[in-house]
Amino acid sequence: MEKAKTVEMESVKLNMEKVAQEESLSRPERLERLSSQVDELFQGEALAPLREDIKERSFNVPQYGGYHCEGILMDTHLEKILKNLDAIKAGDFHEQVPEEIHGKMQDMVQSNKESLKMYAFLHDISKADCLTIKYDDGRREEVSWKEWQSKLPEGINGDPTKMMTFFVENNISGFSYFHKNAKKKHGQDGVDKLETYSDALEMQPIILEAIKKHEVAYQFQNIKVKTYRKYFGDLTELEKLWVITASYIDTMASIRDDGNPNLDNFRCMVDSANNYEKIKILERALNQETDLDQKKVNKVLRDLNNQNTRIEESSEELIERIKQECQASRYVKTRLESTLASLVVTNQITEDAKNAILEAIDEQTGTINEQQMRKVKKTLRQANRIVQEALNDCEIK
């Protein structure tokens, strides 16, 4: 395996007219390369409609706007995904990808490259069915593929330069791939379509899961363990890595108008995964401990789950720190008995209350039985404050 390295990106404002011109010149060879791979990956008569779908529709899906400046048509996006697979295999990573997952992602690509290629061609298979045209004045028009084709003048379909001119002349500012009125998302719609090929399409089930979740990174505006648990909690470790790798190659192939991909959401998702896994290991370790203050444990876990920064400590360091922070309070029982006796003498608590408090303290460890103490506190009422002060004074620091 080649040693992983990070790649820094230079920012430059893209001239989309120039992008379209270069795309037009390189498109014939690109389509030939991509079509050859489609034929190789999806063989057989039963998959002929799928091959046609990819070549005739997916390659020609418009992707004008701020999120896909790699090209006017989607074949440019698909080829960049394939190139990203090669980059991962070679150990080239964006600077925002944490080093600790470089090796895991390289292994994933090494072992699943053909499946990830299939994912590349299939993940946006239903964008053509979920087109929404966005206009400069804010209007949005949901169209079918047939309706979109009928809008195009003869001779411009498949020509990036002419398509670019058409967009400008018709005040089209961009496209999205979601039909709000029908609640139709291109990820789930793609999965439904591909399931009709289940008998002929030999692929790992995780590909469908990755397609369904391929835009999940956009749910992470910041680090959210709760959100990660919602979308990844039921997946195996291998499946989690599969979805994260698939999300990465897709995000890296989505070029913004500064000439770079934006990995902010992806990084928040990966950091959420880091926190989730470390908290899970921590919970298992704390469950083995018998001398911790459960209130402190619950608060620490609640705070960690809500934390919006990355947990940088190793799991071992985190466990050791939290165990120290959550140690159950211990008391010098003889000293506490003397202190409580003085409160009895001054009529601040009763003899029965004193005895009940002392019974809640373990003779051997000096720790307090919280369940017993809660019952005592219900009887103390106004004396709770003075008893707590006595406990604080007798606590082993």
Average pLDDT over all residues of the chain = 93
Of the listed ranges 184-188, 228-232, 338-342, 356-360, the least confidently predicted one is 184-188
Residues with Cβ within 8 Å of residue 96, at least 6 apart in sequence: 263, 264, 266, 267
Q: Which of 269, 203, 229, 260 is nearest to 47 (CA)?
A: 203
Per-residue pLDDT band at 11 (split at 50, 70, 90)? very low
**Phi and psi at residue 62, in whole multiples of 5°?**
-75, 140
Check whether 62 has a pLDDT greater than 50. yes
216-264: pLDDT as tens digits: 999 999 999 999 999 999 999 999 999 999 999 999 999 998 899 999 9
Check whether 271 has a pLDDT greater than 50. yes
180-208: pLDDT as tens digits: 888 888 999 999 999 999 889 988 889 99
Query: What pLDDT shows up at residue 9?
Result: 46
Mean pLDDT, rounded, for 347-353: 94
| Helices and strands per DSSP (H, E), number in the chain | 17, 7
> Between 7 and 309, where is the model more confident?
309
* DSSP of 182-229: TTEEHHHHHHHHHHTTTTT----HHHHHHHHTTTGGGG-SS--HHHHH
**Can you tell me the distance from the alpha carbon of 272 to that of 251, in angstroms, rounded to the nearest whole number?**
17
Report in angstroms the alpha-carbon separations of 393 from 119, 293, 347.
64, 18, 19
The reported pTM is 0.85
Check whether 10 has a pLDDT greater than 70. no
Beta bridge partners of 243: none
Query: What pLDDT shows up at residue 329?
Result: 86
Mean pLDDT, rounded, for 269-274: 97
Check whether 1 has a pLDDT greater than 60. no
Q: What are the structural domain ranges in the chain?
A: 5-269, 273-325, 333-393
162-183: pLDDT as tens digits: 999 999 999 999 999 999 888 8
